[in-house]
Amino acid sequence: MKSLAITGNFPEANVEALAVVVFKGEKASSADLSGLDKITGGLIASVIANDEFKGDVGETALLRFHPSGKVKASRVLLIGVGDRSDYKTHAVASVAGGAVRFLQKRKIKSFALLPRSAGNAADVAQFAMQGCITSQFELDKYKSKDKTKHTVNSFVLCVEGAKAAELKSGLNRGQIIGDSMNFTRDLANEPPNVLTPTEMANRAAAMAKETGLKCEVLDEAKMKKMGMGSLLSVSLGSEQPAKLIVLRYTPTKNTAKKGELLALVGKGITFDTGGISLKPGEGMEAMKYDMSGGATVIGTMRAIALLKPTVPVLGVVAAVENMPDGRASRPSDVVTAMNGKTIEILNTDAEGRLILADAVAYAEKQGANRIVDMATLTGAVIVALGDQNTGIMGNDQGLIDEIIACGKENGEGFWQLPVSKEYSKQIRSDIADIKNIGPRGKAGTIMGAVFIQEFVDKAKWAHLDIAGTAWADGVRPHQAKGPTGVAVRSLIKLVEKSQ
């Protein structure tokens, strides 16, 4: 997407369509709209007066007119955003993305956007660009025909009174963040016969090479040596060997306090059949997305490598396939994790926590003193929070609050669920230290969290259950159906705030 930042003369931008934000109840005579209204010969005033356009969130109206003078565009796209007081900077991403998808359907190639946000100019530009880029992601990679035509290939951003350099740097950041979200989404969308643990490791390694990250891939022999009996128990039933993908970002100028290291740890189950505790056939195909936590880590690390914050970040992804087989784990098997704890596996479908156990212990052993793990861990979080909020739990309220705040800035909801000793008691095993499931039908999401907590020693830790938010079941005005790239933006912010 070609982009250009301008700080005035919006109606004269050399584009096919002028997209402008309109607030609920706004009149065409308002300062920002009256000039445009004149250019269109009063069309804006007429659609507002006739209640054809009210400015509600998500509302759009495309008006055609005959341009004259210095005006090149022949269309105005009105984009409703609701009340002015509710209009947050991050909403610019959905506005821009919504405009791209709307105009694309009408074969338009270029547009200018007047986002009318009161937010910081660089942030506005960042969200605008990110929204444009993520709006063009489609599920059609494997279609041999009928691919969506991305006709919109250039956009002009106008923020009046802003500094051009600020806008430019915001656009650059938006490009990196949008591309990284799409990188994550592409991984999550890959069919499991393509994206095996080995392929996931290869994609991470190729990305690392391109962006200057260090990448190390631990094979099963190495993991065995390190005592990762919990992680390895999950891949026993698969022909595909497990891989532990380790990505390291080291800043050239390091402003982190000595001993500070943030680790992002992801669940990368490339397909979850449930193992011997086999899932029902109906809906099993959705489990190709069970590596979304890992994909989020890889995409976020890509953005970090390119944005170059001044603090180090460690990325760890446990890439494993969960299959039933003669060699697979049985319910009642006992395994020993890297930190020496013994686990009674009572359900082989609760495999995410088994791989994360060793992955978080590994991250801490590598020196991490703050760990954020992310996983499509439980169906229960979908029941509790649906697709609007990611479940967040952890052992440190400060870290949890920081992530929630980063989410708010990016329009990503995180909702905290409790963990406590009482919950932890519920995963005590009769014959081993702990068991991998809690009491049937009770606090399933929290049981997953308190299990992972057993493998965190001194580090501050937060756990994100993205099972409900990593995949959108339907198309949204600014976004295709499918993988969402949730949490990438908030985690980038978390890293940047720790500078």
Which residue numbers are catalytic?
279, 353
What would the x/- binding string for ligand BES be over residues 255 to 294, using CB under 6 A? Answer: -----------------x-----------------x----
Phi, psi of 265 (to 5 degrees): -125, 130
Least separation in angstroms between residue 467's CB and ligand BES is 4
Nearer to ligand BES, 6 or 447 (CB): 447
The stretch near Zn ion (CB under 5 A) out of 127-135, 262-270, 313-321, 355-363 is 262-270
Nearer to ligand BES, 300 or 348 (CB): 348
The stretch near Zn ion (CB under 5 A) out of 35-43, 154-162, 261-269, 462-470 is 261-269
Least separation in angstroms between residue 392's CB and ligand BES is 16
Least separation in angstroms between residue 440's CB and ligand BES is 9
Q: Which does 37 bind (CB under 5 to 8 A by kind): Zn ion, ligand BES, none?
A: none
Q: Which does 55 bind (CB under 5 to 8 A by kind): ligand BES, Zn ion, none?
A: none
Residue 260 burial (CB < 10 Å; 0-12/13-18/19+)?
middle
Least separation in angstroms between residue 272's CB and Zn ion is 4
Helices 488-497 and 397-410: crossing angle in degrees, nearest 10, is 120
**Binding to ligand BES, residues 347-386 (CB under 6 A):** 347, 349-352, 376-380, 382
Q: Which does 437 bind (CB under 5 to 8 A by kind): Zn ion, ligand BES, none?
A: ligand BES
Residue from 123, 190, 199, 272 in contact with Zn ion (CB under 5 A):
272
CA distances from 61 to 56, 74, 174 (A): 11, 14, 26
**Binding to Zn ion, residues 349-378 (CB under 5 A):** 349, 351-352
Residue from 290, 344, 402, 412 in contact with Zn ion (CB under 5 A):
290
Binding residues for Zn ion, rule CB under 5 A, total 6
Nearer to Zn ion, 79 or 269 (CB): 269
User: How many beta carbons lie within 10 A of that of residue 212, not counting itself?
Assistant: 11
Residue from 79, 467, 480, 491 in contact with ligand BES (CB under 6 A):
467
Q: Which does 439 bind (CB under 5 to 8 A by kind): Zn ion, ligand BES, none?
A: none
User: Taking the C-alpha atoms of 53, 100, 305 and 167 in order, what is their torsion angle to the nearest 10 degrees?
Assistant: -60
Nearer to ligand BES, 435 or 478 (CB): 435
**Binding to ligand BES, residues 412-451 (CB under 6 A):** 437, 444
**Binding to ligand BES, residues 283-342 (CB under 6 A):** 290
Nearer to Zn ion, 37 or 349 (CB): 349
Q: Which does 347 bind (CB under 5 to 8 A by kind): Zn ion, ligand BES, none?
A: ligand BES
Distance CA 17, CA 9 (A): 14
Which pair of structure tokens corresponds to residue 404? 């929630």
Binding site for ligand BES (CB under 6 A): 272, 290, 347, 349-352, 376-380, 382, 437, 444, 467
Binding site for Zn ion (CB under 5 A): 269, 272, 290, 349, 351-352
